[in-house]
Amino acid sequence: MREAGPLEGEMGMRYYASESDGTGGVLRTEPEDFRVTEIERFGADIRPRDADPGSYPHTVFRATLRGWDTNDFADALSTKLGISRERVSWAGTKDKRAVTTQLFSVRDVDPDGVPEVRNADIEVLGRAGRPVLFGDLAGNAFEIRVRDAERPENAELVARELRAFAGGDPDDPDVSGGTPNFFGHQRFGSLRPITHRVGLEVVQGDWEAAVLEYVTTTGENEPADTREAREWVAETRDWAGAVERLPGRLRYERSMCHALAEAVGEPGPEEFRGALETLPTNLQRLLVNAAQSYLFNEILCRRLERGLPFHEAVEGDVVCFADRDAPDGLALPDTDRLQVASGDRLRTVNRHCARGRAFVTAPLVGTETEFADGEPGAITREVLEEFGVVREDFDLPGEFHSTGTRRAVLLRTDLDVGMDPPTLSFPLPKGSYATVVLREIMKTDPTALT
């Protein structure tokens, strides 16, 4: 276990699982350096192009995109077709600084009418009775090149340590490796990691503090005009003036300030809550999700500090079992199938863990969270007490409400390391972060991982 730097510490990722120095280097010098291919499990039948459009209204296609954010590609496609963006669906959102292969569908468009889009290779698969949905994504396969590595030979050293961390033979390259299943930098804001701090204020019911955190907290890597505007708002609380002062690119902050400027008299808790509710609903959910993610990361750090294993259960742990429908070769936890590992069951559960059929979990705390027993449960209670959070705090209005769930503590993957330059190939289940693997291998400035 090795300590990480202060920026990652702010996100709850205070340690590395591996001790060796990383390779250093940079990512995404060009989009081809970062390739992502979806691991699909589209459950609907795909019929030929000439199938009845009444029964099969969704045209399904696979697209390989170079330099496209998924949302931007959907906008461009819908514009070319002259239709609403709501008629375009996909399984997972991808970053633009990459080459990505992913599944899409478009409603009420003839398969022969799918247009060409620049920097997109589109393969029409046929028609389906329903759209492509988020649940149709099982995971992603990555192939990532590290450029300008100072210590390229260290990639294999770290890979050995990650195999040992996952309970395997470090000298057997065919054995899976693993890292703590941290939520990565993208969850919190890579350049201004404040999303979880805003979420914690929401969970504790301080709507005013949440808005101030979102609007006025500066980031070291922000442009000077942005930092100056945020500082001015923090000092003056002139909400009408803030709409004029804040750069146009800060549209969410400007919307919040506009809502507060329209308040009659001095804004109170209801007005500050209303300001937060000007955010898109997915971002409202993200605030609370980020708070849960930060607490989860802290729970993993305490497990590391206490020397508890990640690849097998200890007395009182809650485990989940593998998804029976997962594609071959992908370790996909099913957190709807839970069991407490205690007494006589502990040995049986750990046999399943050793075979990749079960996973130790920790909570993403919400109103319906059940704590583990023994030392794992004590860790969760310790973290929540330290941050002044209880389960009932997540009983919030609207999109901020969360019942909670559980998440595997170990991110297990088959990591293949090539050289000249270091090239990393690995699959990950949905909801996990490639940057969590890359940070172990590279051990570089976190901003270089995004």
- CA distances 276 to 206, 242, 260, 443, Å, are 11, 16, 10, 36
Segments of 262-409 assigned E as strands: 318-322, 333-340, 358-364, 405-408
> Strand pairing of 137-145 and 34-40?
antiparallel
CA dihedral in degrees (272, 273, 279, 280; nearest 10)? -170
User: In sequence order, what are the residues at sequence separation of 6 or more whose Cβ sits closer than 8 angstroms to the Cβ of residue 412?
Assistant: 166, 176, 177, 178, 311, 331, 356, 359
Which three-class secondary structure state does DSSP give residue 194? Answer: coil
Whole-angstrom Cα distance, residue 435 to residue 411? 12
Q: Nearest to residue 402, comparing CAs of 410, 389, 411, 392?
A: 392
Handedness of CA 221, 250, 72, 141 (dihedral sign): positive
Whole-angstrom Cα distance, residue 330 to residue 411? 11
Do 125 and 62 touch, CB atoms closer than 8 A?
yes
Handedness of CA 64, 187, 164, 323 (dihedral sign): negative
| Token digits of residue 134 | 């988020």
Q: Is the link from the previous residue into 421 a cis peptide, with omega within 30 of 0?
A: yes
Buried b vs exposed e over 336-363: b needs ≥16 C-beta within 10 Å? eeebbbbeeebeebbebbeeeebbbbbb
Is residue 95 flagged as an active site residue? yes
Of 21, 69, 95, 395, the active-site residue reads 95
Task: Indicate which residues carry an active-site annotation.
Answer: 95
